[in-house]
């Protein structure tokens, strides 16, 4: 197999494969955009036109699609492999870490109940991904255990996170109490006063593409997740939170900020943070636990001048 055809059907198969492998919504969206760009300029991929293709990519994330195609072909048993040369890449930029006061402002500026959703993103475990808060269900929280001791912390099981992995996270006491009050308002308590049902937060006001849901449930999940993500990004974060904070906000940086806070302020061991984040590699967790310069300034405030 000397070439890889860039047909629409082939690209759709790659998207379906990525979904099956547990790639995040953002990753799938980025790869889809790069594949479309490839399609516009090339009918197929070969090792002969590889260098020309690489030169047309301005960002290392675009070049990552070539490795993705290699992984896809290997997994599917296709006899095709791109001989991708090593390329010197720019050092990765450190994510912005929000202070506690900035996080409070972000949360307080969001309309209800999305302020509660943002609190969940920041406070559950070492922080949640946006896709995880969209899919978070009442049934994912162990309500019976918490109702037996309402002064303790809660526990939730995050289902099918990145890489299709499940993980267990803690929920602070005050957040559990507010989630329970929200459950009462939403009228989802059963006869035993336990919240039951589907997703906690509604990011889509209408029944989204019901026909697609009946025909292809997996495709519907992807479309629903995309729609919810866009609604949250544009109608909540951009419209309210960014306006209050006065700068662009990356929601995923709340997760970085939470991990940094746990590591630096609460002194939680990095191995524990790794479990809460659901990382397979400790090196990935270390990216999330960057030292905040402000805390360094606090440590040095008593030092004498020369």
Burial class (CB in 10 A: 0-12, 13-18, 19+), 128: buried
Mean pLDDT score, 266-270: 87
Report the CATH number at residue 186.
Answer: 1.10.443.10
Q: What is the CATH number of the domain that holds 21?
A: 1.10.150
- Domain count along the chain: 2
> 141 exposed, middle or buried (CB, 10 Å; 0-12, 13-18, 19+)?
buried
Q: Is 171 helix (H, G, I), strand (E, B) or coil?
A: strand
Is residue 12 located within the same domain as residue 107?
no
Q: Is the pLDDT of residue 293 over 60?
A: no
Q: Is residue 269 part of a domain?
A: yes
* Confidence check: pLDDT of 251 > 60: yes
pLDDT interval class at 216 (50, 70, 90): low
- The reply to whether 294 falls in a domain is no
Q: What is the pLDDT of residue 201?
A: 92
Residues 43 and 180 in one domain: no
Contact between 137 and 199 under an 8 Å Cβ cutoff? The reply is yes
Are residues 116 and 261 part of one domain? yes
109 in the same domain as 64: no
Q: Is residue 194 part of a domain?
A: yes
Three-state secondary structure call for residue 194: coil
- In angstroms, the CA 76 to CA 17 distance is 9
Q: Is the pLDDT of residue 31 over 80?
A: yes
Strands 167-171 and 154-158: antiparallel
Higher pLDDT, 108 or 230: 108
Specify if 92 maps to a domain.
Answer: no
Please check whether residue 152 lies inside any domain of the structure. yes
- Residue 69's Cβ-side half-sphere holds a number of Cα atoms within 13 Å equal to 27
Q: pLDDT tier at 27 (50, 70, 90 boundaries)?
A: confident
Decide if 297 is inside a domain.
no
Instruction: For residues 47 and 140, state if they share a domain.
Output: no
Higher pLDDT, 296 or 85: 85
**Separation CA 286–CA 277 (nearest Å):** 11
Q: Could you write out the DSSP letters of every residue in 82-120?
A: --PPP---PPPPPPPPPPHHHHHHHHHHSPTTHHHHHHH
189 forms beta bridges with 195
- Does residue 90 belong to any structural domain of this protein? no
Residue of 225 and 145 predicted with greater confidence: 145
Is there a domain that residue 83 lies in?
A: no
Residue labelled with tokens 């072909």: 73
Q: Strand pairing of 167-171 and 44-45?
A: unpaired
Query: Do 71 and 190 share a domain, yes or no?
Result: no
How is residue 190 written in tokens? 């059963």
For residue range 146-199, list pLDDT tens digits in order.
999 999 899 999 876 565 678 899 999 999 999 999 999 999 999 999 999 988
210 and 123 part of one domain: yes
What's residue 292's pLDDT? Answer: 58
Residues 167 and 280: beta-carbon distance below 8 Å: no
Q: Are residues 120 and 260 in the same domain?
A: yes
Quick check: 247 pLDDT over 90? yes
For residues 44 and 185, state if they share a domain: no
For residue 68, the enclosing domain spans: 4-76
Q: Report, as an integer, the average pLDDT of 42-47.
A: 84
pLDDT at 236 over 70: yes
């Amino acid at each position: 197999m000397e070439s890889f055809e860039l047909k629409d059907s082939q690209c759709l198969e790659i998207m379906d494969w990525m979904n099956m492998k547990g790639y995040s919504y953002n990753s799938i969206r980025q790869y889809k955009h790069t594949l479309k760009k490839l399609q516009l300029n090339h009918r197929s991929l070969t090792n002969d036109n590889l260098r020309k293709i690489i030169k047309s990519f301005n960002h290392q994330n675009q070049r990552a699609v070539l490795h993705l195609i290699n992984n896809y072909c290997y997994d599917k048993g296709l006899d095709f492999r791109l001989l991708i040369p090593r390329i010197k890449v720019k050092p990765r930029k450190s994510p912005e870490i929000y202070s506690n006061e900035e996080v409070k402002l972000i949360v307080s500026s969001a309309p209800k109940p999305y302020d509660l959703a943002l609190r969940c993103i920041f406070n559950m475990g070492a922080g949640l991904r946006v896709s995880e808060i969209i899919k978070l269900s009442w049934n994912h929280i162990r309500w019976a255990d918490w109702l037996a001791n309402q002064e303790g912390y809660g526990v939730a099981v995050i289902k099918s996170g990145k890489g299709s992995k499940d993980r267990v996270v803690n929920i602070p006491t005050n957040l559990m109490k507010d989630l329970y009050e929200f459950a009462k308002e939403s009228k989802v308590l059963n006869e035993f006063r336990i919240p039951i049902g589907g997703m906690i937060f509604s990011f889509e006001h209408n029944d989204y593409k019901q026909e697609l849901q009946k025909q292809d449930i997996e495709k519907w999940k992807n479309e629903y997740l995309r729609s919810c993500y866009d609604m949250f990004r544009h109608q909540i974060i951009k419209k309210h939170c960014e306006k209050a904070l006065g700068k662009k906000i990356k929601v995923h940086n709340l997760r970085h900020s939470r991990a940094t806070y746990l590591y630096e302020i609460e002194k939680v061991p990095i191995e524990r943070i790794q479990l809460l984040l659901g990382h397979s590699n400790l090196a990935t967790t270390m990216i999330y636990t960057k030292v905040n310069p402000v805390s360094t300034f606090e440590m040095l405030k008593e030092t004498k001048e020369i």
